[in-house]
Chains A and B, each alone.
Chain A
Amino acid sequence: MASIEHTSLPPENFGDKLRSWLPILLLVPSLIASFVYIFVFTGWTFYLSLSDSSQLPTYGFVGLENYHSLWSNRRWNIAYSNLFFFSAFYVVGSMAVGLLLAILIDQKVRAESGWRTIFLYPLAVSFVVTGTVWSWLYSPTAGIEFLVKGLGWDSFKFALTTDRKYAIFAIITTGIWQSSGFAMALFLAGLRSIDPDLVKAAQIDGAGPFRTYRRVLLPLIAPIFVAVAVVMLQFAIKTFDLVVALTGGGPGISTTFPANYVYDLMFQRGQIAEGSAAAMMMLLALSVVLVPYALYVVWRNRREQRND
């Protein structure tokens, strides 16, 4: 691997020596900032989760008491079961819609960049904006339900956000609306990068479009599926803005999510320690998703190098 070893030309004087250290010196501020941001802050919050802080941070050690109280809290349990439920539907739904759109656009449609622009613009929009606007659309007195009823279908119900049991689906649907463009863009890029001769060979072999996609094209972009799933899971775990804007966590606490509960504990209930514990749990969830993926990527790269 070619690289510039900064020690390849031995420094002759102080000026040279300084110059050879220049790259590292320039990197140091960013390194320190990142180090502090990543490790020190995590450690700090971790310690807070083991402390007796209430409204302000204090540093008396109380062991795992905060975690006990967190896990026996009903609202926390609702929050993370919402997270599981949401993640499953959100990730699978976004990928399914994204894949469908990518395959449709891959069929040599005209105005392709126009379609892509339409499906991707939600990514430029904040979750706050999306949540706000969709909350209006879900309103029974002015939104979709109002429109459909006005067209004659009197018994149509779409007021998800006012229903305790179904509000989570509002969040799921809106989340899919926001993120499926992302999945679509990546799948489309993957499909486009496939050697066109493979499609021609499948054509000559007699495979119809379904068989070609199922057995030739989609398996080839399998790594992209994994990458997209991981990124979306990561988004799902961090869900906060969308909930605040769309349902405010309600009705009641039925659509509260871990990130919302952290905010609530820290800044509205004056329970910093327990909030920190909840934040650590979020970090744990993220690690469970990301660490195996990182190992998988490393393993796959090693395997590819061996095969060359």
Chain B
Amino acid sequence: MTDTALHRDPEEAAALRKHILSRIVIYGLLAIFASVYLLPLFVVIFNSFRDLPEIAQNGLIAFPRSFSFKSWFDAWGTYCINGACEGMAKNFWNSVYMVIPATIISTLLGALNGYILSKWRFKGSELLFTCMLFGVFMPGQIALMPWAYILGTTGLNKTMWGLVLVHVVQGISFTTLFCRNFYVNIPDDLIKAARIDGAGFWRIFYKIILPISPPILIVTVIWQFTGIWNEFLYGVVLTTGKNQPITAALVALSSNGTNVRNYDVMSAGVLIGALPPLLVYFFGGKYFVRGLTQGAIK
């Protein structure tokens, strides 16, 4: 007996119906949630291209009925923030000049430290590592006054290097944690074989450790980049005016206009501030997630 009567089998039909129904529920729920998640993103993107009067008339969440690039130019170069009317361009570059050195330095140090702590252990190294971990969880508020004092007296708060220093020092705990947890999984036998072959500390690092590090380095770089770019507290406290990073500029931007809210320019401004990490996320998605799952399961 073969299954020629497939579609007329009542048992199979019932099972199929139940399956279709559950699929509808699942995809339906997912779609509802997805629209809630995507709403702010679409609102911001659309509104950055709309005219302000049209926004005022039709509301923020409406199908765009106007189109212009004007807001983008304004946000970038001419909008008035805290008195200066030069847009967010300088703040954007401030963030760039701050994030890139801070990310690179903190990641390299993290890799080196992770390598040392996992492969060159010595008495007390585990304890030292645990102490370094406190830095990951410390609230930023504790370090505010000390940093303000240090940066103030050394004059570093007049440049981006002050913030670079802050983020590197604070980032070391995190990057070391990540890299060390990754390197711990490299078999010690590999290192032993290399030492028997005569390799020393640096050669092992360059020839064995670094070549297999790209996965963790990418994860670390992505997380550092995103975290430092999006950071606000130190940005707003330790720098002023034209030296501020883009997050601080954004807050100043949106608290500007009183009753007339310039949603068009502000949307463009938001996107300028949010795009770099978002792009990193879209292109480096799976590394992002890998960092999540590795880091939280400490």
Contact = CB atoms under 8 A, between A and B. Distances in A.
Is A–B contact present in the complex under a CB 8 A cutoff?
A: yes
Interface of A: 2-6, 19, 22-24, 26-27, 30-31, 33-38, 40-42, 44-45, 48, 57, 97, 100-101, 104-105, 107, 109, 113, 115-130, 132-137, 139, 142-144, 146-147, 150, 177, 181-182, 185-186, 189, 223-224, 227-228, 231, 234, 237-238, 240-241, 244-245, 248, 259, 262-263, 266-267, 272, 275-276, 278-280, 282-283, 286, 290, 297
B169 A37 contact: yes
B296 A227 contact: yes
B274 A227 contact: no
A142 B43 contact: no
A123 B288 contact: yes
B140 A126 contact: no
A139 to B, nearest CB: 8
A33 B167 CA distance: 12
B153 to A, nearest CB: 11
Contact of A133 (B22, B43, B128): B43
Contact of B145 (A45, A97, A185): A45
Contacts of A19: 200-201
Interface string B224-257: 0010011111000100000000010011001100
Interface stretch (B3-11, B109-117, B154-162, B210-218): B109-117
Contacts of B132: 30-31, 34, 38
Nearest to A53: B145
B146 A143 contact: no
A121 B41 CA distance: 10
Interface string B27-40: 10110011011111
**6 residue pairs, one from A and one from B, having the closest CB atoms:** A126-B230, A124-B281, A23-B120, A2-B188, A279-B141, A3-B121
Contacts of A276: 145
B200 to A, nearest CB: 7
B122 interface: yes
Interface stretch (B54-62, B72-80, B86-94, B96-104): B54-62
Contact of A5 (B122, B191, B285): B122
Interface in B109-148: 109, 112-113, 116-117, 119-122, 128, 131-132, 134-135, 137-147
Nearest to A136: B60
Contacts of B233: 240-241, 259, 263
A244 B250 CA distance: 11
A128 B60 contact: no
A22 B281 CA distance: 37
Interface centre among A31, A182, A290 (most CB of B within 10 A): A31
Contact of A105 (B30, B112, B188, B255): B30
B26 interface: yes
B169 A34 contact: yes
B253 to A, nearest CB: 9
Interface centre among A107, A182, A237 (most CB of B within 10 A): A107
Nearest to A262: B141
Contacts of A27: 113, 116-117, 128
Given A23-B116, A34-B172, A133-B40, A41 B278 contact: no
B195 interface: yes
B289 interface: yes
Interface of B: 22, 26-27, 29-30, 33-34, 36-41, 43-44, 55-56, 59-62, 109, 112-113, 116-117, 119-122, 128, 131-132, 134-135, 137-147, 149, 169-170, 172-173, 176, 188-189, 191-192, 195, 200-201, 226, 229-233, 237, 247, 250-251, 254-255, 261, 263, 266, 270, 273-274, 277-278, 280-282, 285, 288-289, 292-293, 296-298
Contact of A283 (B142, B147, B250): B142
B261 A136 contact: yes
A43 to B, nearest CB: 9
A137 B288 contact: no
Given A133-B44, A137-B39, A119 B270 contact: no
Interface centre among B30, B40, B139, B273 (most CB of A within 10 A): B139
11 contacts: A4-B192, A22-B201, A34-B132, A34-B169, A38-B138, A41-B146, A45-B145, A97-B33, A121-B281, A123-B288, A132-B254
Contact of A33 (B61, B137, B169): B169
B119 A3 contact: yes
Contacts of A124: 226, 277-278, 280-281, 288
Contact of A126 (B134, B172, B263, B273): B273
A294 to B, nearest CB: 9
Nearest to A227: B296
Given A126-B247, A279-B141, A104 B29 contact: yes
B31 to A, nearest CB: 9
A120 B289 contact: yes
Given A35-B131, A128-B230, A238 B140 contact: yes
B292 A185 contact: yes
A129 B45 CA distance: 13
B229 A126 contact: yes
